[in-house]
Structure 1
Amino acid sequence: MTAVREVDFLIVGGGLAAAACAAELREAGADGAILLVGREPDPPYDRPPLSKEYLRGEQQRTDAYWKPESFYAERAIELATRTSVMAIDPGERSAKLSNGETVRWKRGALLATGANVRRLRAEGADLEGIHYLRTFGNADAIRADVERAERVALVGGSFIACECAASIASRWDKPCELVMLEDEPLERQFGPVVGRAIGGLLRDRGVVTHGGEEVERFEGDGRVRAVVTKSGKRIAADCVIVGVGAVPDVMLARRAGLALGETGGVACNEQLETSAPGIYAAGDVCEYRSALHGGPLRVEHWDTALNHGRHAARNLLGANEPYDTVPYFFSDLADWLSLEYVGSGGGEAVVRGSLDDGSFTVFYVADGRVRAALTAGGRSGELEQARRLIESGHAVDSDRLADPSSDLAAL
């Protein structure tokens, strides 16, 4: 017979959103059983180091753990690693696990299933030496391949490809070439002005960039030997890292009949509750109604995952509070440049400082209001002022934003 047991809270997913939810439940005074189910072998960990310190061998596996394993035991949070939730039944408030158990939750559940890498569909995509990055195991395989490779190619113009290129060029001094649809790296996220600055930085450090190029096929003899673009460029490489985005893992939610949103995530209200009462979502998979930014919003960053998890925990306990935290994330390009970003959405890029010197703040202004901001060069004070401007919704003068002598607090 199938084993059946009851818990008070079921948390589906082994990432930061799930861990933050479990911890906050205890911090907020929740009693009863908490079960956190994750398919990876490790307890919840930070993913940003996978393309940075961990990839370069500067950080151990356990250094990336969000909390030591003892943290969960001390708070009576049961971690079920190497375990998947195969199906959930919102009506029965139950879940079937890959270990054969059926678990019923009494008080509430959280879906924090994260995202999966987007696979590149091209001839030769299954050749040895072509990598994607999402887990410790992926980073281990990339490091081993990079150390024996002669030439490395990276596909994509976003964070994974750019961060890996910077790590490889700085740590191993290997020839790196970046192939991307965009004209410049990170242009899609930060616009052409910042993209040109980032591209110039990478090129100055030896990374060759090929903008406006789409991969047609990979060539090789069992192992990849070249990336060929649709324009006919052939980039020699015996190690390739593909970073072309991620897609929210909504398979479980779809099977359960939960509503999906406009950006492909699980549709949630302002309280992060899904279409099934008592089931919340957090992290990469959560598409929530944002009172602050307007419309549906889905943010794939570790800080949002943490804040989502904590907020969902409080609402699982009855707080019923709308989520209105301004999104934040960071990106390091080796020790060359550190970027911090708050907000969501585009607009006119208003530059304060010097892009060439690597010390700047870029405000993204739409309809006379700051929607987002990007800083580099340790300008954390301006980042905090930008956050306040986003939260307030106050109209601003772009000339005063750009003027380094103006007092941002006065705005």
Structure 2
Amino acid sequence: MADRSVDHLLIGGGIAAATCAQTLREEGATGSILLVARELDPPYHRPPITKGYLGGTETKEEGLIDLPEDVEVLTRTSVMALDLATKTVTLSNKETVAYGTALLATGAMVRRLQIDGVHLDGIHYLRAHGNADSLIEDAEAVTDVVCVGGSYIGCESAATLTTLGKQVTVVLLEEEPMERAFGLQVGAWVRGVLAGHGIQVVSDVEVERFEGEGDRVQRVVLAGGRSIDAELVVAGVGVTPDVMLARKSGLEIGERGGVRADAQLRAHGADGLYVAGDIAEYDSPVHGGAIVRVEHEEHAAAQGRTVARNMLGAAVDHTEVPYFFSDLADWASFEYVGPALAWDEEVLEGDMAEGEFTVWYVADGKVAAMLSAGGHGDIDRGKELIATGGAPPTNN
């Protein structure tokens, strides 16, 4: 017998769970809602961690997500066990809770480097407010910073730290920053933006080890022997879906590392259980039924909305086209809809040199994704073409 029961249980302290709670109330849900978060803080927006919060222009309070007053939030609390048969969970405070419907949105964990010297002081990972707080304090007395990784975390952190007066080098495995998601053409543009503000980009190379004097990092040593001075390191080498609870409960884990779900975001083989956010590996109608897993806050919020409606009986597929955005300080910004799982052509409109352009990613003559920089182009039109399988406007 459970200690108590709730109508809607939300497991996770990120935007997927928070948006689900908001949408439940907006859609007329009157039942009890319990949000359980292992985080120290109530749900908040994560993008500012590498931007405004890290740069000191945004407070922690400004990033908090408003929740309905009658939503119960348990922070610093983990779900230790999930029983799919009885629809109950056991919390870290020993309480057992039965649920009618539940959302599993446990997010992701940062991928940590496994090389010599990772134990040295001054090596940071960014995922939560606490990580940013430690980095901000540590950065006050240093000048030379190395950001390892050429995706969102590495590039955005490099830009923000440069605005704080640091001398930053970005080291990446790929030929160009953000190449994996957006291709070489956009990657070269990102490199140019960074380099234009004094950031050195070292590409096509692996970090071999960190070296230090005493307990503190002092150098990043690359494969081939090159050494870069580093009084502080920010490692942004990706995340892995946090499926520990899901795996323990017997849920199906997919090839992309997430929890398998159908087009309505219902977890396979689990009555009343939905998944959203970084762990959701679902059958995407937008991508022709392909199995997709998307790591970005904006899409996690969209999934939270779909889950809320389905918890209330809507039985709708998740047809929102995933949306992404990135800001490199106040130097450049771009929006992206997709993602393109693969493409065979890139159609450029606008002027890359001016930072105002659109790139259409095309697969078999159909728009698979669209990137808009500097406000160029129509993102809503991009979403429409992706959803309908249309050709890029320049081909019409």
TM-score bracket, normalised by the shorter chain, equals over 0.9
CA distance in 2, matches of 1:131, 1:394: 43
Corresponding residue for residue 310 of structure 1:
305
Corresponding residue for residue 28 of structure 2:
29
Higher mean alpha-carbon deviation, 343-352 vs 388-397, is at 388-397
Correspondence 1:319 to 2:318: no
Aligned equivalent of 2:283, options 263, 286, 289: 289
Contact 2:143 2:165 in 1 (8 A): no
CA distance in 2, matches of 1:185, 1:313: 36
Structural mapping, 1:165-176, within 5 Å = 165-170=158-163, 172-176=164-168
Corresponding residue for residue 216 of structure 1:
208
Aligned-partner residue type, residue 249 of structure 1: D
Q: Give the deviation of 1:126 after TM superposition.
A: 1.2
Correspondence 1:386 to 2:382: yes
Aligned equivalent of 1:228, options 213, 216, 221: 221
Aligned equivalent of 1:78, options 67, 72, 86: 72
Higher mean alpha-carbon deviation, 36-45 vs 385-394, is at 385-394
Corresponding residue for residue 405 of structure 1:
none
Corresponding residue for residue 330 of structure 1:
325
Q: Give the deviation of 1:396 after TM superposition.
A: 4.4
CA distance in 1, matches of 2:330, 2:131: 22
Contact 2:277 2:300 in 1 (8 A): yes
Corresponding residue for residue 262 of structure 1:
255
CA distance in 1, matches of 2:363, 2:248: 39
Runs ≥4 in structure 1, deviation > 6 angstroms?
none
Corresponding residue for residue 150 of structure 2:
157
Q: Give the deviation of 1:150 after TM superposition.
A: 2.2
CA distance in 2, matches of 1:382, 1:394: 14
Q: Give the deviation of 1:231 after TM superposition.
A: 1.7
CA distance in 2, matches of 1:3, 1:354: 61
Aligned-partner residue type, residue 50 of structure 1: I
Q: Number of matched residues?
A: 391
C-alpha offsets along residues 258-304 of structure 1, whole Å, 9 cap, x if unaligned? 00112000000000000112100011111110111031111111111
Contact 1:127 1:222 in 2 (8 A): yes
Contact 1:267 1:274 in 2 (8 A): yes
Contact 1:37 1:79 in 2 (8 A): yes
SS class of match (1:332): strand
Aligned equivalent of 1:365, options 362, 367, 370: 362
Instruction: Structure 1 unaligned segments of length 5 or more: list them.
Output: 402-410
SS class of match (1:6): strand
Q: Give the deviation of 1:355 after TM superposition.
A: 1.1
Corresponding residue for residue 4 of structure 1:
3
Contact 2:103 2:273 in 1 (8 A): yes
CA distance in 2, matches of 1:352, 1:3: 59
C-alpha offsets along residues 39-79 of structure 1, whole Å, 9 cap, x if unaligned? 11211100000000000000111000121xxx432xx1100
SS class of match (1:87): strand
The TM-score, its normalising length taken from structure 2, stands at 0.96
C-alpha offsets along residues 161-206 of structure 1, whole Å, 9 cap, x if unaligned? 0000000112x22110111101111111110011111101111110
Correspondence 1:97 to 2:91: yes
Contact 2:7 2:32 in 1 (8 A): yes
Instruction: Structure 2 unaligned segments of length 5 or more: list them.
Output: none
Aligned equivalent of 2:349, options 352, 365, 377: 352
Contact 1:3 1:100 in 2 (8 A): no
CA distance in 2, matches of 1:265, 1:237: 35
Q: Give the deviation of 1:15 after TM superposition.
A: 0.7
Aligned-partner residue type, residue 261 of structure 2: C
Contact 2:360 2:392 in 1 (8 A): no
Higher mean alpha-carbon deviation, 243-252 vs 29-38, is at 29-38
What is the percentage of aligned positions where both structures have the same residue?
51
The TM-score, its normalising length taken from structure 1, stands at 0.93
Contact 2:144 2:230 in 1 (8 A): yes
Aligned-partner residue type, residue 361 of structure 1: T
CA distance in 1, matches of 2:305, 2:382: 24
Contact 1:339 1:374 in 2 (8 A): yes
Q: Give the deviation of 1:351 after TM superposition.
A: 0.7
Contact 2:2 2:98 in 1 (8 A): no
